[in-house]
Amino acid sequence: MTTKLVALALLCLVTGTAMAQEPKVAPLMSKDLAEDPGKEVLMITVEHVPGGSSSIHRHNAQAFVYVLEGSVVMQLKGGEEVTLTPGQTFYEGPDDVHLVDRNASSTEPAKFLVLLIKNKGAPALVPVE
């Protein structure tokens, strides 16, 4: 019984640590594009804890990134890794696979704004295996 409790406690600790690494995403606004029926704009903020990162994903959208705080490392499939600081920007096209999206610091948080132009009702993020 004790072994099972220890194993369960370790599993909870590991799961909690992994979950703490995922970014906090906050929707700010969503707006239909009257000039382009079936399309919408979604504005979100993404916050990475120190050392935090996102898993490999795509957006199936045009994504415009603007770094607000800290520094982030970004890389698209076929591209170079870049480190961005406040005021710098990054772009992802609808067919891009986002391989690296992580906080460059292990001690300071990072936050960026993302503007997505996508099909209305489509998910903002699609995991890639």
Q: What is the pLDDT of residues 8-51, one digit of tens each?
A: 333 343 444 444 488 999 999 999 999 999 999 999 999 999 99
When comparing pLDDT for 79 and 17, which is higher? 79
Please report the pLDDT score of residue 70 as a whole number: 98
Question: What is this structure's pTM?
Answer: 0.81
Q: Give the burial string for 71-91 (b: 16+ CB within 10 Å, else e).
A: bbbbbbeeeeeeebeeeeebe
Q: Taking all residues of the chain, what is their mean pLDDT, rounded to a whole number?
A: 87
User: What average pLDDT does this structure show over 72-91?
Assistant: 97
Four-residue CA torsion sign, 24, 127, 64, 123: negative
The C-alpha atoms of residue 61 and residue 117 are separated, in whole angstroms, by 6
